Amino acid sequence: MRRRCLILLLAVVVAAGNAFATGAEAAAPVKTLARYCTPKRDICYGVVVKRGAVYLDVTTERHYFGWYRLCVSGGAGFWRCNVYRLRRIGWLATSSVNFARQFPNVGSGPYRVRWSLGRRPLGPTLRFQLS
């Protein structure tokens, strides 16, 4: 009896969480400008627009690494790099960097973005243009 109640309670909590997440996404749609996932889909990164601001996101299935390097280049071709930490959320590790706040003077677009561990890139460089 107690086990059934726990399972029912867990189902209600998950359903409520899904409904809340769906409502939040409907209120603030996310537009993807560029994205890459590894073939196993255990690491994904991309450029997205959330709440009118551009974010540079990375998500890993597990906590493979704690820190990563994010480099951005504007139209002038100069690269500006910063190091960021991943935040654990359950089985996932994630990071979301506000482009305008962290890279305010990288020149005009088109932009190139590179995620890496030290000097080793996590995957291909992404390109995006702001309209």
> 17 lies in a domain?
no
Decide if 122 contacts 116 (C-beta within 8 A).
yes
CATH number of the domain to which 120 belongs: 2.60.40
CA angle 36, 43, 38 (to 5 degrees): 55
Other residues' Cβ atoms within 10 Å of the Cβ of residue 57: 18
For 108, the domain range is 29-128
Report yes or no on 6 lying in a domain: no
pLDDT band at 5 (very low <50, low <70, confident <90, very high): very low
Residue 84 lies in a domain: yes
> 67-119, pLDDT tens digit by residue?
999 999 987 788 999 999 999 999 899 999 999 999 987 777 799 999 999 88
Provide the pLDDT confidence category of residue 27 given band limits of 50, 70 and 90.
low
